[in-house]
Amino acid sequence: MHRLGLAARTLSMTDAASGAEEIIVNGVLAVCDPLGGLYLPETGTLVVSDLHLEKGAAFARRGIMLPPYDTVATLNILSAVITRYDPKLVISLGDNFHDRKGSKYLAPELRALIAGMARGRDWIWINGNHDPDGTVDLPGSCADELIYGGLVFRHEPSLISGKGEIAGHLHPLATVRRREKSVRRPCFASDGSRLLMPAFGVLAGGLDLRHQAMHGLFDREKLVAHLLGRDRIYSVRYTNLTA
């Protein structure tokens, strides 16, 4: 899944904005971008989730060798979406790094890439379950949760109250049938009250919207999956998804 996601998101980074989808979450206008970012024009905020930077390095520390290119690939896509919207604020919704050591041992050239993207704008790193201690020597500030612009930004979705919530963690995927083939893609998932973000990291996997971990999070009669395509968002009602 992550290989397919990387291929789809690197082919059309220069012109994908024309295929973005405008939706409303808790009364707030939000733009779902095919690259996996969510732009909130009223506050000039760009939201991304589950970057899982340095995942390859984290596996290498455990003796499992993966190609060491995931971080630069993810940051290049992030740079493209930041260039597109020029946000005042970037919020990264947790699991920014794949483990607690990722930001500490980040290579200087990769650290410089992040610093360049953050220059002239505010940046908030929401702490995730993979990186609960926050980032080390990177621009911006860290928080467990943020309430801003009529929305609540957190890593893990709350079962207590999801009204106005923008969350990550579950890496939602949705499956549709197209030309007699099943296509499975990362997606934004929203019922108009809360929204779950797709994982932004190129090595991140995901869970289907029908997975039991999603139960109780949405009003399924109103739930829509906004699938990331090569050059546009495809919005499909939950009731029309393939099991």
Each residue's pLDDT, cut to its tens digit, for the chain (243 residues) gives 443 344 345 434 444 467 999 999 999 999 999 999 999 999 999 999 999 898 866 555 666 666 667 899 999 999 999 999 999 999 999 989 877 887 788 999 999 999 999 999 999 999 999 888 999 999 999 999 999 999 999 999 998 888 999 999 999 999 998 777 889 999 999 999 999 999 999 988 899 999 999 999 999 999 999 999 989 999 999 999 986
Q: Which residues contact 9 (CB under 8 A, 6 or more apart)?
A: 34, 35, 36, 77, 202, 228
pTM of the predicted protein model: 0.90
For residue 185, the SS3 value is strand
Contact by Cβ (8 Å): 92, 49: yes
Distances from the Cα of 80 to the Cα of 3, 215, 242, angstroms: 19, 34, 31
Cα dihedral angle (81, 115, 202, 175), rounded to 10 degrees? -40
Q: Taking CA 19 as the corner, what is the angle to CA 14 and CA 21, rounded to the nearest 5 degrees?
A: 130
Q: What is the CB neighbour count within 10 angstroms for residue 113?
A: 18
Rounded Cα distance between 162 and 152, Å, is 9
pLDDT score for 62: 63
